[in-house]
Each structure stands twice: as C-alpha cells, then as structure tokens.
Amino acid sequence: MQPRRPIGLAFALASSASFGLSGIFASALLAGGWSPGAVTTARIAGGALVLLVPTLWLLRGRWGAVLRSWREVLVLGLLAVALCQLAFFSAVAYIEPSLALLIEFLGPVLLVFFTWAVSRRAPAMLTLAGAGVALVGLALVSGVGGEALHPLGVLLALGAAVGNAGYWIAASKADSELPPIALAGLGLIVGAVVLVAASASGLLPFVATARPVVLAGATLPAWTVLLLLVLVATAAAYVLGILGARRLGATLASFVGYSEPMFGILWTAVLLWLLPSGMQWLGAAAIIAGVVLVKLGQVDRPRVSDSPAIVEGIPSP
C-alpha cells in the first residue's frame, strides 16, 4: 500500500462514519415534523455557513485558483450536492428508500465505466468482480426485497447515482489547486443556493418546526440535532471525504464509501439499540470483500493522474 493510502483510508472511513450518522439525526427531525426538503436544505445551507469563513480565509489572494477549478466546484455543488439530494428525496416518493439508496450507490459502478470511457483503459476483472460483490452486499445491508419498481422513481434514483459518482470525481483530483475545506465549502454553497431556490419555488416542500425532538431516547431542542447534522454529518463528512478521495483515487474511495450504510447500521445499534440482522451482517462482509477486490484490481495499475489527458476521471481543462 502506498504511503498516502493508510491515512487516505482513515479519512475515507471517518467520512463514511460521519455520513452514516445523518440518517439518525435526520430521522429525529423528520419524526418531529420536519419535511425531508427542510432537513436537506437546512443541512446543506448550514454546512455551507459553517465552512464559509474557513473557505474565505483559505482562498484569500487565490481567487484565480477558484476560476481555474470551476469544473470541480460545479460538479461537486450541482451534481454531488444538489442533484443527489433532490433526486433521492424525489425518488422516495415513488419507490422504497432502501431501493432508492441501492440505486444511488450505483454511483461507484458508473464511475468505473466513466473512467474506462475517458481513459480508454478497461478496468481489471477484479475491479469489476469487486463492484458486483459490493453491490450484492449493499442490497443485503439496505434490506432491499421485492419492492415494486416505479419507472420514474428508478429514473430519479439513477439521477442520484450520477450525483454520487460526481462527488467522487470532483473530490479525487489529487493536483487540485483548492484546499479540501475550500472545495467542500464552495460545493456546499453552490448546492445550498440550488436547494434554497428549489424550496422557495415549492419544488422541494419545506416544513420546519421548533418543537423538541427525540434522539437516542433523549428529548433535545431541534436546533441541537440540526447542529449535529450540520457539523458532523455534513461539514466534517464532506471535508474528510475529499481528503480521503485525493489520497485513494476516485474508484477505491467510492467503494470504501459503501461502508456508509454499514456505519449507519452500527450507529443505529449503538444509539438506538436496534441490532442488525444476520443478512445485514452478511451484507457487511460482502461489502468489505468487494472493496478488497477493487483494491486488488488496482495493484500494478497506477493512477492516471500523471496523464496529460485525464486526472482520475476528470478530463484536463
């Protein structure tokens, strides 16, 4: 494993653990009367506000770098944040959330084929096998069964998958001129603008209350849970994810991201005392096996960041 890989893996896992808490925090707000659109918009806008000052400080005198990196910022803000959130919450109006989550997490698989297309290098068979094994594991962890397929719901969830892939593409550019915190901040600002506009127009129903909510058996002010959602499961999660992706590369980092639902189950067990089923444990093992296969598929296949035509899946400007 390359010297940058262990710390990159640590960052990626910490990001997944942070994202994995979002479901618990969001569920508490939803049970308290908040609409999904309100939770999403407040989460992203709050994350943008938290990172605003650090972003401005890091970019002082470096605004030329922002202009040169506009593709990364727009991919992260429009695809990874706005499209992913809007498409997912629109999809769950037609299909079960577990199925929508499974389709959204096709993002890493789409990324494999996108990288194949732009680099003209076929992925290793172990990478393809790992993708398949990880997807099976994700299906088991998510609890997808025989839900009916609504075409519009599937199409919207595929839009979320495109957004998911966009996150890893934007986050993994190793030679980016933007610091990870600044990239996350700019992406969240762009995403927040889109989500606020969608909420204001009524496209994304926005209902929020000040009533106390229940989290892990404790009654807390809604703003406290929202603050946890913003700080831990949004601002920190996005920054850690970018730090990890820049060290691991888009493909490996995206499959490590499959650990997010595993952490979600772990946090549910720890905080809510809801233990995972045997099938979910089996799914977790399959996800780990899939990530290992993807990693083995990258042995002796160096990242293409030195190529003049592509930087880990992003065409050079």
On whether the CB atoms of residues 170 and 183 are closer than 8 A, the answer is yes
Its domain, for residue 215, covers 4-315
CA distance 290 to 300: 18
- How many C-beta atoms lie closer than 10 Å to residue 311's C-beta? 21
Instruction: Report, as ranges of residue numbers, the positions in the chain whose pLDDT lies below 70.
Output: 1-4, 144-149, 298-317
Handedness of CA 312, 131, 76, 250 (dihedral sign): negative
100-111 per-position pLDDT tens digit? 877 888 888 888
269-307 per-position pLDDT tens digit? 888 787 777 887 888 888 888 888 887 786 645 554 433
For 121, half-sphere exposure in the C-beta direction (CA atoms, 13 angstrom radius) is 16
Domain count, the chain: 1
Q: What is the number of H-type helices and E-type strands within the chain?
A: 16, 4
Q: Which residue has the tokens 């809801």?
A: 274
